[in-house]
Amino acid sequence: MRIDKLLANMGFGSRKDVKKLLKTGAVRVQGQPIKDPSTHVEPESESITVYGEEVEYKPYVYLMMNKPKGVICATEDLEHETVIDLLGEEERHYEPSPVGRLDKDTVGLLLITNDGKFNHWLMSPKHHVPKTYRALVEGHVTEEDVGAFSHGVVLGDGYVTKSATLHILEAGARSHIELILTEGKFHQVKRMFQAVGKRVLELERIKIGNLLLDPELARGEYRELTKEEIALLLEKNE
């Protein structure tokens, strides 16, 4: 990899900024000053320093966000604030994207990364990665609804959903439920409850695969995933 590309990727500014930095002699590879921006380096095996500080090369960023209401799952939008707008410059320079999407008024666990293979693996239907939601529903959710969700319900467009696991946490005029899905159709949770004559008032995603939303994260906050959490996400779901 070219040294200018590596340093730009690691947040040292634009290629133009990096070129100026190189001219100062502040960048060293294996202890030797490097001034030519086209110099090829091996970040996995060579020591790279800037002003004496070791540069830890990370090609990918993996983030967990507690998505707030009113923010859309997109990389950019002219009218609405996006989840990427909530990131700091240190993360934005990786040009990451949300893994899947949550509706504008849905909150909770959202993953953000620039690792395309990781993103594709989690979103691929063949891996059946379950997503767990908590919801406040207008209407009395019953065991009949539990059975209907288990067998699959017919949505307004005629699509029959895959089997979903519905747990009633508290039933009443307004019911609290937990729902586990292995697919992610547009507005699916809301449309499934609409199919059984009820309406979702509040919706939060709390889990993807075996990864739970960090309870320490306030709405709109995010942090990097640990290596253990990344491994949890890539575990096979039986």
Q: Which helix (H) or strand (E) holds 89?
A: helix 89-92
**Same domain flag for 35 and 50:** yes
Residues 54-87: tens digit of each pLDDT: 998 888 999 999 999 999 999 999 899 999 999 9
Residues 181-213: tens digit of each pLDDT: 999 899 999 999 999 999 999 999 999 999 999
Q: Which residue has the tokens 């090829």?
A: 40
Categorize the per-residue pLDDT at 15 as very low, low, confident or very high, splitting at 50, 70 and 90. Answer: confident
**Same domain flag for 115 and 217:** yes
Rounded percentage of the chain residues whose pLDDT exceeds 70: 99
Closest residue by Cα to residue 137 from 222, 194, 99, 186? 194
pLDDT at 18: 94
What CATH number is attached to the domain comprising 136? 3.30.70.1560
Q: How far apart are CA 205 and CA 109, in angstroms?
A: 5
Closest residue by Cα to residue 28 from 57, 53, 5? 53
11: containing domain = 3-54
Domain count, the chain: 3
Is 233 strand, coil or helix? helix
Distance of CA 95 to the CA centre of its chain: 13
The answer to whether the CB of 203 falls within 8 A of the CB of 193 is: no
**Same domain flag for 39 and 69:** no
**Same domain flag for 220 and 113:** yes
Active-site residue, from 4, 77, 103, 115: 103
**Same domain flag for 136 and 89:** no
Asked if residue 238 belongs to a domain, the reply is: no
**Same domain flag for 223 and 110:** yes
Asked if residue 77 belongs to a domain, the reply is: yes
Active site (annotated) includes residue 77: no
Residues 116-150: tens digit of each pLDDT: 999 999 999 888 899 999 999 999 999 999 999 99
Residues 101-112: tens digit of each pLDDT: 999 999 999 999
Asked if residue 11 belongs to a domain, the reply is: yes
What CATH number is attached to the domain comprising 107? 3.30.70.580
pLDDT, average across residues 163-175: 98
Q: Is the dihedral of CA 33, 39, 45, 50 positive or negative?
A: positive
pLDDT at 90: 84
Categorize the per-residue pLDDT at 13 as very low, low, confident or very high, splitting at 50, 70 and 90. Answer: confident
What CATH number is attached to the domain comprising 42? 3.10.290.10
Q: How far apart are CA 37 and CA 178, in angstroms?
A: 54
pLDDT at 237: 60
**Same domain flag for 215 and 115:** yes
**Same domain flag for 84 and 97:** yes
Q: How many CA atoms lie within 13 A of 153 on its CB side?
A: 25
pLDDT, average across residues 39-67: 94
φ/ψ of residue 3, rounded to 5:
-65, -35
